[in-house]
């Protein structure tokens, strides 16, 4: 009895204290006091700059952290302050919680934005921030933990009546038993790592005799990548579409979705092109999926921005795949079509403010497409191609957004993800958006390194893409055209354009030298070390 009374009072006082803080933080005189004024961005590259842009618009100071390999990185120059957090390998810098917390303390930042990748889905980091009195701009460690483990998430979704892919909800412990279970579900199946992410630890099994080797190799890949070898079984969805819903939830019980993103153009389970609206979506299914996405987020008391990924078959049956409890790489297409700044929304939620829009206020307008540009050689099996950027012309013009971080003279480090930028276009119709993307890709010139731009150009010419009739097999099905072994006419033309451009730039440099105009080389080293950098 005493325990019950104690618990009652504990819960009551806790909830009223939280309620009081929430209410207090809304009153005009305290509002200003509680607001975040300085944010440390625990990331690098394009996403660090993306977050800092919103900070600047909101009058919030931004703090960059950088590894030894990133002294000359653009995010360091863009921030108001920058702190070195260790050696080049990410497990000695961007993944070291202690170093990031120390940088936050030294800078006086009161909040940390984790971006995507690195520590963004690390529950320990979210908890540690809270313990240190810092605001983690993201969900609670409970939400991260529950959704971060695919098996736990599947169970949670089942209890919230969100459809999940048929399969198991326990890790495979016995190979013989696994064979029996798979026979019951029916081939083909996917063996998936419970801790999986970035397409790792996943195996497709078509034939019974391949089950044992698939489970064994999925387990060892999962162990190497995530230090956790739990794998489970999912029915393989034929002709699958990857369609995800953006959701945002505040700390006042409001949760809405910002519609879908079609991400079926994938290479090795990694997204290459994303668009919204999805060419296969209907109004009815959109509404139903949106409701399920909101239910999924509510099931873990979600706070902040997140993404519910679904796998969808040709008949528009859809199943929960996973939730990404962070800002997504492809978030800009949603921002463009719905007109909401998702980073600003995340910061407002972290400031304990209620959402300033309701579900019925949100509409999709026009069409947006994003392509991810990698420093990889598409004509040589997508070999990473880091190196020094010689010349670069970014695409500009109506309806074009370019979120990048590299610049002429910058040497791409070998230590991190080879994605160098995201090109996002918007137009009133899908057809116009594709034409605009082609125009923007044509104008995008980089020399010194190989990029996936020619490969992206080829994707936009494939009739199935143009007609919006594609699923996750798209790249594989069109491999002969998309990944030609020899020199394609398109590539020859691209190379000729680049050669002409390089020639033009060389002439320009010569012209400048003759007129004694010194090019502005910038003082990158100083920017890397200096505090209170205000340039850019
Ligand atoms: P999105 O759905 O936003 O494309 P991805 O799965 O491609 O997300 O992951 C975004 C970034 O996070 C990528 O750089 C990827 O390499 C990294 N990433 C994703 N999951 C993990 C993980 N479990 N561990 C480490 N990095 C990860
Ligand atoms: P990750 O955490 O690595 O992103 P996901 O579970 O999101 O893993 O799956 C990544 C991709 O793998 C999906 O977008 C889809 O293309 C494919 N995939 C995953 N599960 C299935 C399945 N059951 N059937 C068919 N394809 C799947
Ligand atoms: Mg995924």
Q: Which of 117, 119, 194, 261 to mutate to test the pocket of ligand 1 (most atoms within 8 A of CB)?
A: 117
Rounded to the nearest angstrom, the distance between the alpha carbon of 117 and the centre of ligand 1 is 5
> Is residue 237 within 6 Å of ligand 2 at its C-beta?
yes
> Domain of 316?
241-482
Q: Are residues 376 and 425 in the same domain?
A: yes
CA distances from 166 to 108, 189, 196, 199, 318 (A): 49, 10, 18, 19, 11
Pick the residue whose CA is nearest to atom 4 on ligand 1.
Answer: 329
- Statement to judge: residues 391 and 465 lie in one domain: yes
The CA distances from residue 141 to 119, 307, 364, 401, in Å, are 12, 16, 32, 33
* Region for residue 519 given its phi and psi (left: phi exceeds 0; alpha: psi -120 to 50; beta: otherwise): beta
Buried b (16+ CB within 10 A) or exposed e, 320-352: bbbbbbbbbbbbbbbbbbbebebbbbbbbbbbb
In a domain, 160, yes or no: no
pLDDT of residue 424: 98
- Residues 272 and 370 placed together within one structural domain of the fold: yes
Per-residue tokens: 268 = 């090795």
Tens digit of each residue's pLDDT, the chain (536 residues): 565 555 555 555 555 555 565 566 566 666 677 799 999 999 999 999 999 999 999 999 999 999 999 999 999 999 999 999 999 999 999 999 999 999 999 999 999 999 999 999 999 999 999 999 999 999 999 999 999 999 999 999 999 999 999 999 999 999 998 999 999 999 999 999 999 987 889 999 999 999 999 999 999 999 999 999 999 999 999 999 999 999 999 999 999 999 999 999 999 889 999 999 999 999 999 999 999 999 999 999 999 999 999 999 999 999 999 999 999 999 999 999 999 999 999 999 999 999 999 999 999 999 999 999 999 999 899 999 989 999 999 999 999 999 999 999 999 999 999 999 999 999 999 999 999 999 999 999 999 999 999 999 999 999 999 999 999 999 999 999 998 765 555 555 555 555 555 554 544 444 444 333 333 323 332 333 333 333 33
Structurally, the chain folds into a number of domains equal to 4
Whether 329 lines ligand 1, by a CB cut-off of 6 Å, is yes
Q: Could you tell me the CATH number of the domain that includes residue 124?
A: 3.40.50.20
Q: Is 510 a catalytic residue?
A: no
Give the number of C-alpha atoms closer than 13 A to the C-alpha of residue 260, restricted to the C-beta side: 28
**pTM for the structure as a whole:** 0.85
512: in domain: yes
Place of tokens 């996405």: 293
CA distance 422 to 444: 11
**386 three-state secondary structure:** coil
Q: Which of 482, 506, 527 is the last residue of a domain?
A: 482
Instruction: Give the CATH number of the domain where residue 351 resides.
Output: 3.30.470.20
CB 122 less than 6 A from any atom of ligand 1: no
- The reply to whether 308 and 365 lie within a common domain is yes
In angstroms, what is the span from residue 190 Cα to ligand 3's centroid? 14
Q: Which of 44, 125, 198, 271 to mutate to test the pocket of ligand 1 (most atoms within 8 A of CB)?
A: 198
Q: Which residue owns the Cα nearest ligand 1 atom 9?
A: 198
Residues 231 and 245 in one domain: no
- CA-nearest residue, atom 9 of ligand 2: 199
Pocket test for ligand 1, best of 114, 116, 375, 415 (most atoms within 8 A of CB): 116
Q: What angle do CA 42, 46, 51 make, to 5 degrees?
A: 55
Query: Is ligand 2 within 6 A of the CB of residue 387?
Result: no
**Is the domain of 228 the same as that of 250?**
no
**Is there a domain that residue 121 lies in?**
yes
Q: Are residues 363 and 282 in the same domain?
A: yes
Q: What's the pLDDT at 490?
A: 53
- Residue 436 shares a structural domain with residue 510: no
Q: Are 155 and 312 in contact (CB under 8 A)?
A: no
Q: What is the 3-state secondary structure (H, E, C) of 308-326?
A: EEEEECCCCCEEEEEEECC
Q: Is 269 in the pocket of ligand 2 (CB under 6 A)?
A: yes
Q: Which of 235, 262, 286 represents a domain boundary (last residue)?
A: 235
- Does one domain contain both 317 and 215? no
Return the ligand number nearest the Cα of 268: 2
Measured between alpha carbons, how far is 113 from 110 in angstroms, rounded to an integer?
10
DSSP assignment of 350-365:
HTTPPPS--GGG----
Q: Are 45 and 180 in a shared domain?
A: no
Is there a domain that residue 161 lies in? no
Same domain, 83 and 227: no
Report if residue 446 sits inside a domain. Answer: yes
Q: From the CA of 472, which ligand is nearest?
A: 2
Estimate to the nearest angstrom the gap between the alpha carbon of 399 and the chain centroid.
21
In a domain, 80, yes or no: yes
Atom of ligand 1 at shortest range from CA of 199: 6
Q: Which ligand is nearest to the CA of 226?
A: 1
Nearest ligand to the C-alpha atom of residue 329 = 1
Cα–Cα distance, 421 to 429 (Å, whole number): 24
Q: Which is catalytic among the residues 326, 336, 372, 458?
A: 326
In a domain, 133, yes or no: yes
Are the beta carbons of 62 and 36 closer than 8 angstroms? no
Given ligand 2 and candidates 321, 328, 471, 475, which is best to mutate, with the most ligand atoms within 8 Å of its CB? 321
Give the residue from 137, 156, 177 where a domain finishes: 137
Return d(Cα 326, Cα 147) in angstroms, integer: 11
Q: Indicate whether 9 belongs to any domain.
A: no
| Same domain, residue pair 502 and 473 | no
CB of 107 shorter than 6 A to ligand 1: no
């Amino acid at each position: 009895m005493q325990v019950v009374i104690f618990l009652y009072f504990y819960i009551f006082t806790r909830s009223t204290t939280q309620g009081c803080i929430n209410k207090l933080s809304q009153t005009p005189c305290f509002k200003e006091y509680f607001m975040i004024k300085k944010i440390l961005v625990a990331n690098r590259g394009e996403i660090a700059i993306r977050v800092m842009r919103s900070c600047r618009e909101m009058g919030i100071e931004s703090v960059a952290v950088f590894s030894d390999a990133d002294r000359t990185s653009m995010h360091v120059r863009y921030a108001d302050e920058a702190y070195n957090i260790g050696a080049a390998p990410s497990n000695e810098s961007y993944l070291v919680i202690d170093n990031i917390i120390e940088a936050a303390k030294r800078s006086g930042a009161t909040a940390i934005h984790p971006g995507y990748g690195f520590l963004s889905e690390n529950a320990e980091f979210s908890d540690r921030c809270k313990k240190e009195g810092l605001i983690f701009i993201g969900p609670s460690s409970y939400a991260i933990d529950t959704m971060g483990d695919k098996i736990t998430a599947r169970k949670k979704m089942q209890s919230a009546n969100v459809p999940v892919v048929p399969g198991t909800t326990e890790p495979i412990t016995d190979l013989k038993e696994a064979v029996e279970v798979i026979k019951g579900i029916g081939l083909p199946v996917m063996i998936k790592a419970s801790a999986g992410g970035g397409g790792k630890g996943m195996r497709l099994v078509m034939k019974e005799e391949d089950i044992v080797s698939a489970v064994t190799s999925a387990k060892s890949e999962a162990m190497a990548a995530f230090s956790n070898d739990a794998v489970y079984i999912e029915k393989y969805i034929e002709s699958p579409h990857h369609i995800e819903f953006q959701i945002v939830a505040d700390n006042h019980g409001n949760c809405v979705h910002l519609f879908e993103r079609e991400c079926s153009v994938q290479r090795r389970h990694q997204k290459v092109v994303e668009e919204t609206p999805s060419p296969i979506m209907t109004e009815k299914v959109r509404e139903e999926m949106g409701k399920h996405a909101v239910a999924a987020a509510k099931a873990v008391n979600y706070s902040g921005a997140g993404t519910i990924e679904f796998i969808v078959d040709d008949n528009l049956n859809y199943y929960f795949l996973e939730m990404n409890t962070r800002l997504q790489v492809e978030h800009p297409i949603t921002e463009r079509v719905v007109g909401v700044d998702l980073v600003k929304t995340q910061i407002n939620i972290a400031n304990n403010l209620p959402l300033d829009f309701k579900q019925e206020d949100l509409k999709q307008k026009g069409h947006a497409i994003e392509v991810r540009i990698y420093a990889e050689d598409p004509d040589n099996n997508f070999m990473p191609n880091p190196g020094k950027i010689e010349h670069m012309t970014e695409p500009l013009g109506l309806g074009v957004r370019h979120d990048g971080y590299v610049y002429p003279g910058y040497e791409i480090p070998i230590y991190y993800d080879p994605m160098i930028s995201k090109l996002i276009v918007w137009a009133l119709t899908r057809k116009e958006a594709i034409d605009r993307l082609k125009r923007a890709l044509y104008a995008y010139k980089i020399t010194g390194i190989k990029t996936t731009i020619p490969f992206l150009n080829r994707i936009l010419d494939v009739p199935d893409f143009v007609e919006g009739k594609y699923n996750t097999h798209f790249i594989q099905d069109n491999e002969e055209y998309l990944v030609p072994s020899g020199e394609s006419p398109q590539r020859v033309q691209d190379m000729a354009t680049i050669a002409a451009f390089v020639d033009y730039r060389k002439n320009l440099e010569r012209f400048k030298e003759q007129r004694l105009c010194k090019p502005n080389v910038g003082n990158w080293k100083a920017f890397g070390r200096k505090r209170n950098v205000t340039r850019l």
